[in-house]
């Protein structure tokens, strides 16, 4: 089962926890596009959005996706907006299968409401913003090879489903 395992989904869908668990279970290297962006830029995502705005962030994200997409046996934890660029999806699919971790707006809101590092959700009405962005992005997320429902499910159950799917590939 070579090739990368790529996790996509909305902010707070559980990509980081699931990818960490998955990488440990498989003994694979874990990379996070957000972490690579922060290390390349030497500043946080919040600072990048504040100073250079979203289009700049998306360009760095795209460069990082090209870099990780060419590797093998990685678990790749992608930022929630990676799907907005069709070339990112193509680059990630070239050497990997993409799993969309799907969660409802209410569940996402419960998971992220105490967190402060997501500039797109700096708004008076985060639940409304989550609903709007999810509606805009649904068709992009659904380009994944597999859709995994995460609502009310534990990390280990989600991981097992992913491992089983990868193992069942021909
Ligand atoms: C974003 C999601 C974030 C991060 C940035 C933009 C998005 O990553 O890349 O704040 O557009 O959905 P997480 O999904 O890991 O929070």
Site of tokens 């990997």:
96
Average pLDDT over residues 56-73: 96
Give me ligand 1 centre to Cα 81, in Å.
Answer: 6
What pLDDT is recorded for position 1?
65
Record the pTM: 0.96
pLDDT tops 80 at residue 32: yes
What are the angstrom distances between the C-alpha of 70 and each of 4, 73, 77, 88, 98? 9, 10, 15, 12, 14
Residue of 8, 9, 10, 11 to test ligand 1 pocket, by largest number of atoms within 8 Å of CB = 11
Give me ligand 1 centre to Cα 170, in Å.
Answer: 32
Secondary structure (3-state) at 146: strand
pLDDT tops 70 at residue 41: yes
Superfamily covering domain 4-103+141-168: P-loop containing nucleotide triphosphate hydrolases (3.40.50.300)
**Dist CA 156 CA 48 (whole Å):** 33
Domain-wise residue ranges, the chain = 4-103+141-168
């Amino acid at each position: 089962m070579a090739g990368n395992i790529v996790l996509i989904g909305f902010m707070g869908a559980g990509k980081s926890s699931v990818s960490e668990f998955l990488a440990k279970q498989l003994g694979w290297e874990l990379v996070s596009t957000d972490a690579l962006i922060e290390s390349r830029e030497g500043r946080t995502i919040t600072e990048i959005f504040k100073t250079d705005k979203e289009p700049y962030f998306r360009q760095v994200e795209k460069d990082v996706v090209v870099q990780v997409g060419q590797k093998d046996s990685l678990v790749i934890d992608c930022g929630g907006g990676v799907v907005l660029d069709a070339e990112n999806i193509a680059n990630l699919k070239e050497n990997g299968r993409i799993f969309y971790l799907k969660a409802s707006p209410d569940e996402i809101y419960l998971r992220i409401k105490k967190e402060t590092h997501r500039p797109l959700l700096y708004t008076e009405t985060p639940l409304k913003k989550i609903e709007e962005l999810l509606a805009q992005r649904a068709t992009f997320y659904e380009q994944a090879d597999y859709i995994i429902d995460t609502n009310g499910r534990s990390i280990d159950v989600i991981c097992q489903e992913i491992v089983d799917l990868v193992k069942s590939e021909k």
